[in-house]
Amino acid sequence: MQITTQAVQIGLEWDTRTGSVAIPIYQTATFRHPGLGQSTGFDYTRSGNPTRQALEDGIARLDGGVRGFAYATGMAAITGLLMLFKAGDHIVVTEDLYGGTCRLFNQVFNQFGLSFSYVDTTDLAAVEAAIRPETRALFVETLTNPLLKFADLPALAELSRRRGLLLIADNTFLTPYLMRPLELGADITVYSATKYLAGHNDTLGGLVVTNRPELAERIYFYQNSVGAVLAPQDSWLIIRGMKTLGVRLDRHQENALRIATWLEQHPRISKVHYPGLPQHPDHALMKRQARGFGAMIAFEVDKHALVEQVLLKTGLISFAESLGGVESLITFPEVQTHADIPAELRARLGINNVLLRLSVGIEDADDLIEDLRQALEG
Catalytic residues: 46, 98, 170, 195
Question: Between helices 213-226 and 74-82, what is the axis angle to 10°?
Answer: 110
CA pair distance 226, 74, nearest whole angstrom: 15
In one-letter notation, the amino acid at residue 101 is T
What one-character-per-residue DSSP string does 258-285 give?
HHHHHHHH-TTEEEEE-TTSTTSTTHHH
Closest by alpha carbon to 137, among 117, 122, 151? Answer: 117
Nearest Cα to 66, choosing from 77, 57, 54? Answer: 57
* Beta bridge pairs of residue 91: 116, 137
Contact status, residue 51 vs residue 235, Cβ threshold 8 Å? yes
Q: What DSSP string runs through 16-37?
A: TTT--SSPP----SB---SSTT
| Residues facing residue 358 across a β-bridge | 297, 330
Cα–Cα distance for residue pair 353/333, rounded to 1 Å: 9
Per the CB < 8 A criterion, the answer to whether 55 and 235 are in contact is yes
Terminal alpha carbon distance of the chain: 49
Phi, psi of 154 (to 5 degrees): -60, -35
CB 196 within 8 A of CB 179: no
Number of Cβ atoms within 10 Å of the Cβ of 302:
14
- Longest CA span, the chain: 74
